[in-house]
């Protein structure tokens, strides 16, 4: 059972874990990333195929979602990944609308904004929340640097890195730090957050910008970095799903390490630390 | 399991279900409300201003080599206009076709293809990016729009260049409407902005906009009007068709398509 059901006897104390700026930017990130993902899938659905290089080689996509006819005449969804065909009826390529009608679309309607096919509106949502993501990210970075949140809370210490093996073992056994150690992010947490903040999010923004013909005119180096506009589109797509994978792991960790305690700390800032049991020589 | 835990869990599940269903319906509702669309569209102005500031007003789109030209260039929108007048022109290879240039210009003029071909031209191998997401590379030759505009002379209040086309889109639920597009003077006077009459070294084929199409290489494909019949210089876009400055703009797409 999660750790918020602790023995009444175990000593606990409450600390102030997340500053207001961190909480606020966190929830704005939740909002913008969710809407960016779903409007992004809407945009992807306008041409549900990915390529590598500058241009689209329509005959040889890296990934393509299409609808086809099964031998019995019913429609099926087919996803082709690097030449391998996978039947994905109901989810990718062909899915069912609310009234049960089969519809040819890359991602299903429950995954896109708007739920119906509308590229123009998907783009409206996407660019608005892209600005929110970038401005929110800039505000967070400014805070993290000015308040020393970055150096104090996120950069792993030498001690952290030396004990990374133990942290991995503890995570695998779903054992989480107590006492003094619970007052800080653990080393895997720090590395994961740093990866998202300084690698994944900048990468997805730059790959998105590399798809803009105007930005390509001003900064052709972006095309060299990604290997062409279609490569940038593919990188943007992969980075988006890598962020989804991060969020899934993040949510599992939130759930197994004390969901109410974690949620409270991200809303009010207060986090309850469970003291280590007194050392009695064990 | 104590009662508190069960209730908490039930609440959590219910909240999760609501959280999953509500936004979907809510987002569709917001998507069709005017006030929310204008809020979202406020980002378009930021896109235009910030991108122009960052990329500069002279920046050239990347150009490619002959070897990189797409073997199969996709033709989107109209592939053959069904307008009888256009088809008559096409049958005689556009020999009597003329481009009208009018509106806020000092000397309204019309030009034959031969006259356009005699004006300052540019050849460029560029990437065509469709709003749908795909890209093709092609070689275009055409008259520089700046040369054309200098020939007719812009009046001081000229602000936008509008391209009226021979093709119509729509049908089904929607009555067919003529394609048109518009750009402002910044994009009109870019070095790579041309009215192309040739593609990949041959006369522009009909699926790609014969006899004349716009190439504005720092924007997406839907800006690059095909089958251009008339160039009109205006000070205001709201008086033309749906008022959005283009066929797709009148149907919800952004006027600034640099992204």
Co-location of A246 and A177 in the same domain? yes
What pLDDT does B1 receive? 44
Co-location of A33 and A76 in the same domain? no
Range of the domain at B98: 61-251
Q: Are A39 and A126 in contact (CB under 8 A)?
A: yes
ipTM (interface predicted TM): 0.90
Is B5 in the A-facing interface, judged by CB distances under 8 Å? yes
For residue A103, list its beta bridge partners. Answer: A95
* Residue A84 belongs to some domain of the structure: yes
φ/ψ of residue B107, rounded to 5: -130, 85
Q: Are A47 and A105 in contact (CB under 8 A)?
A: no
Cα–Cα distance measured from residue B136 to residue A225, given in angstroms and rounded to the nearest whole number: 20
What one-character-per-residue DSSP string does A119-156 give?
A: HHHHHHHHHHHHHHHHHHHHHHHHHHHHTSHIIIIISP
Residue reference for tokens 């034959």: B112
DSSP-based three-state secondary structure for B198: strand
Cα–Cα distance measured from residue A183 to residue A91, given in angstroms and rounded to the nearest whole number: 42
How close, in Å, is residue A219 to chain B by CA atoms? 7
What pLDDT does B16 receive? 65
φ/ψ of residue B167, rounded to 5: -95, 150
Residues from chain B contacting residue A259 (CB–CB below 8 Å):
12
* Residue B108 belongs to some domain of the structure: yes
What pLDDT does A70 receive? 87
> Quick one: tokens of A171?
């995570």
Cα–Cα distance measured from residue B104 to residue A90, given in angstroms and rounded to the nearest whole number: 55
Nearest to B258 among A5, A213, A220 (CB): A213
Cα A246 to Cα A241, A249, A261, B134: the distances in Å are 9, 5, 20, 28
> Quick one: tokens of A212?
């803009």
How close, in Å, is residue B87 to chain A by CA atoms? 30
From the first residue on, what is the mean pLDDT of each consecutive set of 10 residues in chain A (282 residues)?
51 92 97 98 98 97 96 92 96 89 94 96 98 98 96 94 93 89 92 97 98 98 98 98 98 94 96 74 40
Co-location of A117 and A182 in the same domain? yes
User: Which helix (DSSP H) or strand (DSSP E) does residue A44 occupy?
Assistant: helix A20-45
User: Which helix (DSSP H) or strand (DSSP E) does residue A258 occupy?
Assistant: none
* Residue B112 belongs to some domain of the structure: yes
For residue A270, list its beta bridge partners. Answer: A16
Cα–Cα distance measured from residue A31 to residue B101, given in angstroms and rounded to the nearest whole number: 49
CB contact under 8 A, B43 and A131: yes
- Domains contained in chain B, number: 1
Range of the domain at A98: 51-106
Q: Are B140 and B217 in contact (CB under 8 A)?
A: no
Co-location of A70 and A120 in the same domain? no
Nearest to A55 among B23, B31, B135 (CB): B135
* Residue B167 belongs to some domain of the structure: yes
The CATH number of residue B159's host domain is: 3.90.420.10
φ/ψ of residue A155, rounded to 5: -75, 125
Is A217 in the B-facing interface, judged by CB distances under 8 Å? yes
Is B66 in the A-facing interface, judged by CB distances under 8 Å? no
Is A117 in the B-facing interface, judged by CB distances under 8 Å? no
Is B55 in the A-facing interface, judged by CB distances under 8 Å? yes
DSSP-based three-state secondary structure for B215: strand
Residue reference for tokens 């991108």: B51
Nearest to A81 by CA among A238, A202, A190: A238
Nearest to B40 among A124, A211, A217 (CB): A124
Is A198 in the B-facing interface, judged by CB distances under 8 Å? no
Instruction: Report which DSSP code applies to A199.
Output: I
The CATH number of residue A203's host domain is: 1.20.950.20
How close, in Å, is residue A142 to chain B by CA atoms? 20
Nearest to B192 by CA among B124, B117, B119: B124
Co-location of A164 and A262 in the same domain? yes
Cis peptide, bond prior to residue B211, ω within 30 of zero:
yes
* Residue A93 belongs to some domain of the structure: yes
CB contact under 8 A, B252 and A58: no
How close, in Å, is residue B145 to chain A by CA atoms? 18
Q: Is B184 left (phi over 0), alpha (psi -120 to 50) or beta?
A: beta
Q: Indicate which of A35, A124, A232 best probes the interface with B, i.e. most B CBs within 10 Å of its own CB.
A: A124
CB contact under 8 A, B5 and A114: no
Co-location of A41 and A86 in the same domain? no
pTM of the model: 0.92
Helix axes A229-256, A259-267, angle to 10 degrees: 120
What pLDDT does A1 receive? 41
Beta-sheet pairing, B98-103 with B228-234: parallel
CB contact under 8 A, B62 and A128: no
Dihedral sign from CA coordinates of B161, B166, B169, B171: positive
Co-location of A89 and A227 in the same domain? no
**What are the pLDDT digits (tens) for A109-141?**
999 999 999 999 999 999 999 999 999 999 999
- Final residue before a domain boundary, out of A106, A123, A151: A106
Co-location of A28 and A71 in the same domain? no
Cα–Cα distance measured from residue B47 to residue A11, given in angstroms and rounded to the nearest whole number: 54
Window 88-147 of B: residues touching A by CB (8 A cutoff) are 127, 129-137
Residues from chain B contacting residue A211 (CB–CB below 8 Å):
129, 259
- Domains contained in chain A, number: 2
The distance in angstroms from the start CA to the end CA of chain A is 24
Half-sphere exposure of B135 (CA within 13 A, CB side): 28
Window 229-248 of B: residues touching A by CB (8 A cutoff) are 248
Residues from chain A contacting residue B60 (CB–CB below 8 Å):
217
Tens digit of each residue's pLDDT, chain B (259 residues): 455 566 666 676 666 666 666 677 889 999 999 999 999 999 999 999 999 999 999 999 999 999 999 999 999 999 999 999 999 999 999 999 999 999 999 999 999 999 999 999 999 999 999 999 999 999 999 999 999 999 999 999 999 999 999 999 986 777 889 999 999 999 999 999 999 999 999 999 999 999 999 999 999 999 999 999 999 999 999 999 999 999 999 999 999 999 9
* Residue B12 belongs to some domain of the structure: no
Nearest to A213 among B5, B61, B134 (CB): B61
Co-location of A34 and A131 in the same domain? yes
Co-location of A183 and A45 in the same domain? yes
* Residue A214 belongs to some domain of the structure: yes
Q: Is B216 left (phi over 0), alpha (psi -120 to 50) or beta?
A: beta
Cα–Cα distance measured from residue A234 to residue A139, given in angstroms and rounded to the nearest whole number: 28
Co-location of A251 and A161 in the same domain? yes
Co-location of A177 and A40 in the same domain? yes
């Amino acid at each position: 059972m999660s750790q918020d059901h602790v023995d009444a006897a175990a000593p606990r104390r409450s600390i102030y874990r997340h500053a207001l700026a961190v909480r606020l930017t966190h929830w704005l990130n939740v909002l913008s990333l969710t809407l960016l993902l779903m409007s992004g899938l809407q945009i992807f659905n306008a041409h549900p195929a990915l390529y590598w290089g500058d241009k689209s080689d329509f005959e040889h996509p890296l990934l393509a979602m299409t609808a086809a006819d099964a031998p019995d005449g019913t429609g099926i969804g087919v996803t082709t990944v690097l030449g391998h065909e996978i039947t994905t009826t109901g989810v990718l390529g062909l899915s069912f609308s609310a009234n049960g009608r089969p519809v040819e679309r890359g991602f299903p309607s429950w995954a896109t904004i708007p739920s119906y096919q509308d590229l123009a509106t998907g783009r409206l949502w996407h660019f608005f929340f892209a600005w929110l993501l970038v401005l929110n990210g800039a505000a967070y970075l400014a805070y993290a640097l000015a308040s020393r949140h970055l150096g104090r809370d996120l950069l792993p210490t030498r001690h952290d890195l030396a004990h990374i093996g133990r942290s991995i073992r503890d995570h695998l056994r779903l054992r989480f730090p107590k006492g003094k150690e619970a007052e800080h992010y653990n080393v895997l947490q720090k590395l994961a957050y740093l990866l998202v903040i300084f690698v994944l999010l900048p990468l997805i923004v730059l790959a998105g910008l590399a798809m803009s013909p105007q930005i390509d005119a001003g900064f052709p180096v972006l095309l060299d970095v990604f290997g062409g506009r279609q490569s940038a589109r593919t990188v943007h797509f992969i980075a988006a799903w890598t962020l989804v994978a991060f969020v899934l792991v993040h949510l599992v960790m939130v759930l197994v390490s004390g969901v109410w305690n974690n949620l409270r700390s991200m809303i009010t800032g207060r986090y309850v630390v469970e003291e280590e049991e007194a050392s009695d020589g064990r | 399991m104590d009662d508190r835990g069960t209730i908490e869990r039930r609440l959590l599940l219910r909240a999760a279900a609501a959280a999953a269903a509500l936004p979907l319906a809510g987002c569709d509702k917001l998507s069709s409300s005017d006030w929310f669309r204008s809020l979202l569209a406020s980002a378009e102005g930021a896109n235009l201003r910030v991108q122009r500031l960052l990329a500069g007003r002279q920046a050239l789109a990347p150009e490619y080599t002959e070897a990189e030209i797409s073997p199969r260039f996709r033709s989107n929108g109209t592939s053959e206009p069904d307008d009888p007048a256009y088809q008559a022109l096409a049958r005689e290879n556009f020999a009597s076709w003329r481009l009208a240039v009018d509106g806020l210009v000092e000397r309204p003029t019309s030009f034959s293809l031969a006259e356009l071909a005699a004006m300052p031209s540019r050849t460029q191998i560029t990437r065509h990016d469709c709003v749908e997401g795909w890209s093709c590379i092609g070689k275009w030759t055409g008259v520089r729009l700046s040369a054309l505009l200098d020939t007719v002379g812009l009046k001081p209040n000229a602000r936008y260049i509008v391209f009226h086309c021979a093709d119509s889109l729509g049908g089904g639920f929607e009555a067919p409407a003529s394609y048109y597009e518009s750009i402002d003077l910044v994009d009109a006077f870019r070095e790579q902005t041309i009215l192309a009459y040739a593609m990949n070294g041959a006369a522009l084929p009909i699926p790609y906009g014969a006899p004349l199409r716009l190439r504005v290489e720092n924007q997406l494909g839907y800006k690059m009007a095909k089958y251009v019949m008339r160039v009109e210089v205006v000070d205001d876009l709201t008086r033309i068709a749906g008022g959005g400055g283009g066929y797709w703009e009148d149907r919800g797409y952004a006027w600034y398509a640099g992204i």
